[in-house]
A and B are shown apart, each in its own frame.
Chain A
Amino acid sequence: MIEAVRLQKHYGKTKAVDDLSFSVRPGRVTGFLGPNGAGKSTTMRMILGLDTPTGGDVRIDGKHYAELKQPLTKVGALLDAKWVHPNRSARSHLKWLAVSNKIPVSRVKEVLEVVGLTEVAHKNAGGFSLGMSQRLGIAGALLGDPEVLLFDEPVNGLDPEGILWIRQFMHRLANEGRTVFVSSHLLSEMAQTAQDLIVIGKGQLIAQTSTEQFIADATQDTVRVRSPHAAKLREILAAHATVTDDSVSGSLVVHGIPAQQIGELAAENQIVLHELSPQRGSLEEAFMQLTKESVEYQAH
């Protein structure tokens, strides 16, 4: 469990993280969501003791990161895949990490296999593609077989294949019962990976909820109805909800009542329906709506 209490980080007058409190539940994938510059990376660096908070506190299972003994066996982190010496081989990179936390060096071979880098283990990390670097970073995070994993924007810049791999990998880690805390600026990405969401903007907490709840709250219920007796149906529905015409498809768009109720109303009045489909609002739209206020640099 990661717990942040009134966490603050100020750089001069800029408040990168402002009075942020949240908790990451164990054994689940929690998405850390916010537009670019919202303070996600800064928060992660504070969790890991790299940056000192201006105020407040963040602990992992009740301890500051710096108090952990052999921290890699407790927390694995991938903040930036490029934190590797370009002239050091993948194997050597993992080897020093392993030795530093008294992890058996044989583990290096195992994690290289897990991420599929065995073939290039002896090659210098400087020659790796972003996808390969990302895999090496994940290998490093997994080295100590930690129960808590932190990933900062792990799919950024990856090709579709890489994104899919990371996504599946997160699921696998969660299925193994690990706590995964992963940041992203894409809600659609998080909707597929995370069970819980912590949403921040301009360093402040916007929402902490389950992904399902967040999406349900954020997207308005909209139902598309098509009927040969559109005019009659429109009259009936107008008494219960907002109805607009979709002139392109000739169907009705109903806001405010669920599809189930529309179906029942139609049956009562013996109206034939050709289509009755609930529409999910676009996730990104909903997210942008929520964080609009807190986007730092906006194009007008």
Chain B
Amino acid sequence: MTLLAVERIKLFSTRSPYWCSALALVLGVGLTAIIAASTDNGQLSLGATQFGSSQLALSVVLVMAALAVTTEYRFSTIRATFLAVPNRTSALVAKTVVVAFIAAVLGEIIAFGSVGIAKVLSPASDLAITTGDEWRHVAGVGLLYGIGAVIAIAVGILVRQTAGAVAILLVWNMLLEGLIGIIPKVGVKIQAWLPFMNANHFLQLGGDNPAEQAGAGVDFKLSQWGSLGYFAAIAVALLVVALIVAKRRDA
């Protein structure tokens, strides 16, 4: 608990998490607002409200999580941390827990905020969250952010540099996994096992309009919750590797 408090103080005593959170909120909810405003009243589906949260804002949250650790390396406060808490694994796990929790909460705020603004701008549309699938589609965004933050922190610990970590995360999440689908035949098969593809698969509404669904056309072998578990397992595996490296490396 002590270490969680320490990481909370550290995170909230600098400005970048506030800016990143605000930016994620504006981008996520903002994109939904634009979509809602440009769609005929009554025609907006629940699936269209989460483009911003699951794509655009997710990237900002990944950057925020990576920054939480790369700035520690950038300013050598990681050394001050390891002096205060020589057990590096527990110090870094505490950081991961705090950042992942904040990312998850932020995800819920952005997801439900997006639904909220869509309701305001498109009151005639049916945006009620009633079925389990609909709940998963909206509330699942928080889980996605939390697990995504773990991946971002692991990458941050391994790379130690802000620019490198951010580049890796953005290219990986926004470009690489999508571009692999271009490879003939095997591309979509590989995609079925890529972490962010599975994350999006988890969010799929499975509704009447497949074109709206992220990761459409990929032949996923896992169930939607299975995909989330797979995404989480990859995040944990990456974190374990990062923790082992951090423990062995000179600080």
Whether chain B is bound by chain A comes out as yes
Choice from A82, A100, A140 contacting B6 with Cβ under 8 Å: A100
Across-interface contacts of A49 in B (CB, < 8 A): 82-83, 86
Which one, B71-79, B129-137, B226-234, is touching chain A?
A: B71-79
Min CB distance B147 to A, Å, is 26
A58 within 8 A of B: no
Interface centre among B75, B84, B250 (most CB of A within 10 A): B84
Min CB distance A85 to B, Å, is 5
Within B72-107, the residues touching A (CB, 8 Å) are: 72, 75-77, 79-87
Which one, B7-15, B29-37, B119-127, B173-181, is touching chain A?
A: B7-15
Min CB distance B23 to A, Å, is 17
CA distance A266 to B92 in the complex (A): 75
> Do A85 and B9 touch (CB < 8 A)?
no
> Do B13 and A66 touch (CB < 8 A)?
no
Choice from B10, B72, B250 contacting A51 with Cβ under 8 Å: B250
Which one, A88-96, A162-170, A183-191, is touching chain B?
A: A88-96
User: How many interface residues does chain A have, given as a range?
Assistant: 20 to 34
B3 within 8 A of A: yes
CA distance A49 to B84 in the complex (A): 11
Across-interface contacts of B86 in A (CB, < 8 A): 49, 65-68, 71
> Do B251 and A86 touch (CB < 8 A)?
no
> Do B84 and A51 touch (CB < 8 A)?
no
CA distance A101 to B3 in the complex (A): 9
Given contacts A51-B251, A72-B84, contact A83 B13 (CB under 8 A): no
- Closest residue of A by beta carbon distance from B71: A85
Interface centre among A49, A68, A89 (most CB of B within 10 A): A49
- Closest residue of B by beta carbon distance from A126: B75
A99 within 8 A of B: yes
> Do A97 and B251 touch (CB < 8 A)?
no
- Closest residue of A by beta carbon distance from B72: A85
Given contacts A85-B71, A89-B13, A95-B9, contact A100 B85 (CB under 8 A): yes
- Closest residue of A by beta carbon distance from B11: A96
Given contacts A97-B84, A99-B5, A101-B84, contact A88 B76 (CB under 8 A): no
Choice from B3, B13, B248, B250 contacting A100 with Cβ under 8 Å: B3
> Do A102 and B2 touch (CB < 8 A)?
yes
Across-interface contacts of A45 in B (CB, < 8 A): 250-251
Choice from B75, B82, B85 contacting A84 with Cβ under 8 Å: B75
CA distance A95 to B12 in the complex (A): 12
> Do A86 and B75 touch (CB < 8 A)?
yes
A289 within 8 A of B: no
Given contacts A50-B83, A51-B251, A71-B83, contact A83 B77 (CB under 8 A): yes
> Do B9 and A96 touch (CB < 8 A)?
yes
A282 within 8 A of B: no
Across-interface contacts of A101 in B (CB, < 8 A): 84
Min CB distance A148 to B, Å, is 13
A199 within 8 A of B: no
> Do B250 and A50 touch (CB < 8 A)?
yes
Min CB distance A257 to B, Å, is 52
Across-interface contacts of B14 in A (CB, < 8 A): 85, 87-88
CA distance A82 to B75 in the complex (A): 7
A48 within 8 A of B: yes
- Closest residue of B by beta carbon distance from A46: B250
Across-interface contacts of A252 in B (CB, < 8 A): none
- Closest residue of A by beta carbon distance from B91: A100
- Closest residue of B by beta carbon distance from A103: B84
Given contacts A50-B251, A100-B6, contact A88 B13 (CB under 8 A): yes
Across-interface contacts of B5 in A (CB, < 8 A): 99
Within B222-244, the residues touching A (CB, 8 Å) are: none
Given contacts A51-B250, A82-B75, A84-B75, contact A96 B85 (CB under 8 A): no
A79 within 8 A of B: yes
CA distance A100 to B71 in the complex (A): 19
CA distance A140 to B76 in the complex (A): 15
Across-interface contacts of A77 in B (CB, < 8 A): 83
CA distance A102 to B83 in the complex (A): 14
> Do A96 and B76 touch (CB < 8 A)?
no
The 15 listed contacts between A and B (C-beta, < 8 Å) are A48-B83, A50-B83, A50-B250, A52-B248, A52-B250, A83-B76, A85-B71, A85-B75, A87-B15, A87-B16, A96-B6, A96-B9, A96-B10, A99-B9, A100-B6
Task: Give A contacts to B, CB under 8 Å.
Answer: 45, 48-52, 65-68, 71-72, 77, 79-80, 82-89, 92-93, 95-97, 99-102, 140
Contacts beyond the supplied A71-B83, A83-B80, A100-B6: 17 A-B pairs with Cβ under 8 Å: A45-B250, A49-B83, A50-B82, A51-B251, A52-B248, A71-B84, A80-B79, A84-B75, A84-B77, A85-B13, A85-B14, A85-B72, A86-B75, A87-B15, A87-B16, A92-B9, A102-B2
